[in-house]
Structure 1
Amino acid sequence: MYWTEFFTVALIHLLAVASPGPDFAIVVRESVGFGRRAGMFTALGVGVGIFVHVAYSLLGIGLIVSQSIVLFNALKWLAAAYLLYIGIRALRAKPADPASAELSLAKGTRSPRAAFVTGFVTNGLNPKATLFFLSLFTVVIDPHTPLMVQAGYGVYLALATALWFCLVALLFSQQRVRAGFARLGHWFDRLMGGVLVALGIKLAFSELR
């Protein structure tokens, strides 16, 4: 009965998650910088972050945030500050000699918990995701759809997001890919830092529509 609605939700989500943004940038950076395990845990963190958006969408809190300039701006500036913080740290990356670069590549220095938290916070604080899920649960999904069915959609969205970014992590954590980046690691960090700073600035100046 709800298959048509589900496929519509799945298609819209696929188009949204495939668009490069903060989640994509942070998963790529963690995967290249710290390896497959860090990338995978970052991807899982992003996936779990989806539950935050689903929860407040189901509770109607998202509607309140969307109608309150103060609350929206507070969330927006908090997210922008976080992106700017991690972006500026990446921009300050310094060149490493080849020996230490290879050693760092082999060892990895990111704990699973830190990687997970990075992914979770990046997704959970994204106000664009707030507006996406709000529109999804108020415009695309019929308000008469049973709450349990809507919750099922939310579980799918979280799992699909985690799976997508796990695939991204697998791709960018390949030894050949990482070895290539290791030789120019500081430039890659600076590039991703620039992307995150640009996203943070764009977010800071975005307006509630």
Structure 2
Amino acid sequence: MIIDPQLALVTAIIALAIISPGPDFAVTVRNSLAQGRRAGLATAAGIAAGVSVHIGYTVMGLGYLMSQAIWMLELIRYLGAGYLIWLGITALLSQRPAHGGATSTDESVSIAHWTMAKQGFLCNALNPKTALFFVALFTQVADAEAGPNQQLLLGLVIALGHLLWFSAVAMLLTTAGAQKRLSRIETGLNRIIGVAMIGLGTRLALAD
């Protein structure tokens, strides 16, 4: 069986980009541990939906424009940095998770899950590294002759990859065994995640 070298290269780049720890991973871990499996899965769905923003401007040809208009990437960088810092602060200030509480209503749970999905969406959509990844992938690596339909298909594959990977992360973190072990260090772990998100946001804001 002959494997297309170009396809293999693109697949490897996409896989490495998705699984590399970053803001998406941090927010998935935080929400999964704080609110439970469904919240983690909602976050994963939000992250995958956030990829649609990058798909949209790539298909419309704005990826090249963004690579030339540095101020657009700078704007995304500062918005993303501010959002990460805000998430980190809320993680540090949050109380003990109540995802197992009996008093939660269906409505409040739905609102919480929708909030988790929005966090995942904004985290990905405002991530300048994801924007740069799409620009580089479609202008330097992927077939330059690929039309909008091919670009859209590749973008959907990337979105699906995000959904599957971060759903797997949420599932693994919320197994009975993992929950039992992590419950002992829950407060400290939540603080570590909060500090990590603030650190990521600060590093992003100060990066050249």
Q: What TM-score do you get using the length of structure 2 for normalisation?
A: 0.88
Q: Does 1:204 align with 2:205?
A: yes
After TM superposition, give the deviation of residue 60 of structure 1 in Å: 2.0
Task: State the distance in 2 between where 1:151 and 1:71 align.
Answer: 22
After TM superposition, give the deviation of residue 69 of structure 1 in Å: 2.9
Task: State the distance in 2 between where 1:190 and 1:200 align.
Answer: 15
After TM superposition, give the deviation of residue 15 of structure 1 in Å: 0.8
1:106 aligned to which of 91, 100, 106: 100
- Greater Cα offset, 198-207 or 180-189: 180-189
Residue by residue over 1:104-150, the C-alpha shift from the partner in whole angstroms, topping out at 9 and shown as x without a partner, is: 24137662211111111100100110000100000111221232122
Task: State the distance in 2 between where 1:4 and 1:157 align.
Answer: 18
Question: CA 1:153–1:4 in 2, change beyond 3 Å: closer, same or farther?
Answer: farther
5 Å matches for 1:42-191?
Answer: 42-93=43-94, 104-107=98-101, 111-191=112-192
Task: State the distance in 2 between where 1:22 and 1:16 align.
Answer: 12
Where does structure 2 lack aligned partners over 5 or more consecutive residues? none
Task: State the distance in 1 between where 2:54 and 2:18 align.
Answer: 14
Question: CA 1:48–1:4 in 2, change beyond 3 Å: closer, same or farther?
Answer: farther
Native 8 Å contact 1:10 1:157 kept in 2: no
After TM superposition, give the deviation of residue 176 of structure 1 in Å: 2.7
Task: State the distance in 1 between where 2:176 and 2:33 align.
Answer: 9
- 3-state SS of paired residue (2:124): helix
Task: State the distance in 1 between where 2:51 and 2:206 align.
Answer: 24
Task: State the distance in 2 between where 1:70 and 1:150 align.
Answer: 25
- 3-state SS of paired residue (1:149): helix
Task: State the distance in 2 between where 1:46 and 1:117 align.
Answer: 8
Residue by residue over 1:60-117, the C-alpha shift from the partner in whole angstroms, topping out at 9 and shown as x without a partner, is: 21222222232222111111000000101212345x5xxxx6xx24137662211111
Task: State the distance in 2 between where 1:154 and 1:165 align.
Answer: 17
Task: State the distance in 2 between where 1:198 and 1:22 align.
Answer: 10
Partner of 1:40: 41
- 3-state SS of paired residue (2:100): helix
Question: CA 1:3–1:145 in 2, change beyond 3 Å: closer, same or farther?
Answer: farther
Count of residues in correspondence between the two structures: 199
- CA-based RMSD: 1.9
Task: State the distance in 2 between where 1:179 and 1:118 align.
Answer: 26
Where does structure 1 lack aligned partners over 5 or more consecutive residues? none
Specify the code of the residue in structure 1 equivalent to 2:144: P
State percent identity of aligned pairs.
36
